[in-house]
């Protein structure tokens, strides 16, 4: 079955590259690229993986894309690969995995583990009744720790309560550290969550100290001094959109959610455009919001492509 999946993905990748970019990819190169997109160093390594084969994709709670840097490095190693090969080939690789007759991916795809960790932290915060007064995120950082087939995602956050701060004349803070342990089940892209640890304290530093007693290995040094506001490898669409609030344009209206029925929260972090479309529809958007969202998404994609690697 692994051979069948990789062949389908390789064939689709070749067609995708030819139809969209006019580039012909050799079959051997296509198979190696497919392996790279699934997180392996070679096709041989993919086929030899019997512990977490890609045939387990239906078991995955989360599917996370392989980092672009890793794909680029693999491309450098493949001799004879077309020099003008674009890096936006993931759609061609993943298309067969969404085939309605034999669907392999049953969940949304996340752009990276950092975004997944922040989304999981958001879910936990929304379930925490003590979290609601602390609505403004002041500092944030994410750290990854890999060990064999396990990955720990530590999300560090410091919140501030503007109302309490204004009333008391001093910063009223809440520090939260969440550690999500995931296990690899399908290639290096499919994971399931094994457990979750969380600590809270009157500051981020205090929350880190508490967490060290539970999960010492991942939090073994004072890291808070290195955190900056919204530290991330690549801005999410929600964070990019938040920076457009001062624009006196439809994009600014969209960022500020002007005319929306629900203005109680900012834009959520999703991995794909269709989820944002669903979110927009469910929030009774004003006239013109849908085309504004489409234009905003295209502008965001252009911004990402222009960013230095």
Average pLDDT in the 222-226 region? 41
**Alpha helices (runs of H) in the chain, residue ranges in sequence order:** 2-21, 27-37, 43-48, 68-77, 90-94, 113-127, 162-168, 204-212, 237-242, 250-256, 273-282, 289-306
Give the confidence band of 264 by pLDDT, cuts at 50, 70, 90: low
Q: Looking at the structure, do residues 101 and 166 belong to the same domain, yes or no?
A: no
Among 33-42, 112-121, 235-244, 289-298, whose mean pLDDT is lowest? 235-244
Model pLDDT, residue 232: 41
**Which range marks the domain in which residue 76 is found?**
2-109
Model pLDDT, residue 132: 55
Give the confidence band of 234 by pLDDT, cuts at 50, 70, 90: low
More confident residue, 151 or 221: 151
Model pLDDT, residue 221: 40
More confident residue, 266 or 52: 52
Among 205-214, 225-234, 283-292, whose mean pLDDT is lowest? 225-234
CB 203 within 8 A of CB 175: yes
Q: Looking at the structure, do residues 75 and 43 belong to the same domain, yes or no?
A: yes
Q: Looking at the structure, do residues 190 and 220 belong to the same domain, yes or no?
A: yes
- pTM passes above 0.75: no
Q: Looking at the structure, do residues 122 and 81 belong to the same domain, yes or no?
A: no
Residue-wise pLDDT tens digits, 36-86:
999 999 999 999 999 999 999 999 999 999 988 888 889 889 998 888 888
CATH code for the domain in which residue 254 is found:
1.10.150
Average pLDDT in the 237-242 region? 84
Residue-wise pLDDT tens digits, 155-208:
998 887 766 554 555 556 888 999 999 999 999 999 999 989 888 888 888 888
Instruction: Using the 3D structure, point to which of 190, 206, 232 is the last residue of a domain.
Output: 232
Model pLDDT, residue 102: 78
Average pLDDT in the 270-287 region? 79
Angle, helix 289-306 to helix 273-282, in steps of 10 degrees: 150
Q: Looking at the structure, do residues 22 and 83 belong to the same domain, yes or no?
A: yes
Q: Looking at the structure, do residues 207 and 194 belong to the same domain, yes or no?
A: yes
199 vs 214: CA distance, rounded Å = 9
Q: Looking at the structure, do residues 119 and 183 belong to the same domain, yes or no?
A: yes
Model pLDDT, residue 306: 63
Q: How far apart, in Å, are the Cα atoms of 274 and each of 108, 109, 223, 270? A: 10, 12, 36, 9
pLDDT above 80 (res 91): yes
Give the confidence band of 131 by pLDDT, cuts at 50, 70, 90: low
How much is the mean pLDDT over the chain? Answer: 82
- The CA-CA-CA angle for residues 113, 116, 117, to 5°, reads 85
Q: How many domains does the chain have?
A: 3
Instruction: Using the 3D structure, point to which of 91, 109, 127 is the last residue of a domain.
Output: 109
């Amino acid at each position: 079955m692994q051979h069948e999946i990789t062949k389908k993905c390789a064939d689709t990748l070749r067609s995708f590259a030819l139809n969209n970019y006019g580039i012909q990819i050799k079959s051997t190169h296509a198979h190696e690229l497919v392996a790279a997109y699934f997180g392996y160093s070679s096709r041989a390594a993919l086929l030899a993986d019997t512990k977490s084969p890609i045939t387990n994709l239906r078991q995955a709670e989360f599917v996370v894309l392989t980092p672009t840097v890793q794909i680029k490095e693999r491309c450098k190693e493949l001799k004879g690969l077309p020099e003008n090969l674009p890096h936006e080939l993931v759609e061609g690789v993943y298309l067969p995995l969404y085939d309605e007759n034999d669907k392999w991916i049953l969940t949304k795809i996340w752009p990276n583990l950092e975004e997944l960790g922040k989304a999981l932290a958001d879910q936990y915060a929304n379930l925490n009744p003590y979290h609601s007064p602390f609505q403004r995120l002041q500092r944030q950082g994410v750290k990854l720790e890999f060990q064999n087939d396990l990955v720990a995602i530590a999300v560090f956050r410091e919140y501030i309560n503007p109302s309490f701060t204004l009333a008391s004349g001093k910063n009223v803070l809440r520090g939260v550290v969440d550690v999500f342990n995931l296990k690899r089940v399908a290639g290096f892209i499919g994971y399931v969550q094994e457990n979750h640890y969380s600590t809270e304290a009157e500051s981020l530093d205090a929350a880190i100290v508490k967490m060290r007693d539970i999960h010492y290995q991942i939090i073994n040094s004072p890291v808070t001094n290195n955190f900056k506001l919204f530290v991330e490898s690549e801005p999410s669409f929600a964070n990019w959109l938040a920076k457009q609030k001062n624009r006196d344009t439809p994009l600014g209206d969209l960022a500020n959610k002007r005319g929306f029925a629900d203005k109680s929260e900012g834009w959520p972090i999703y991995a794909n455009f269709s989820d944002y479309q669903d979110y927009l529809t469910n929030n009774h958007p004003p006239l013109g919001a849908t085309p504004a969202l489409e234009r905003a998404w295209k502008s965001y994609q252009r911004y990402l492509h222009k960013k230095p690697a």
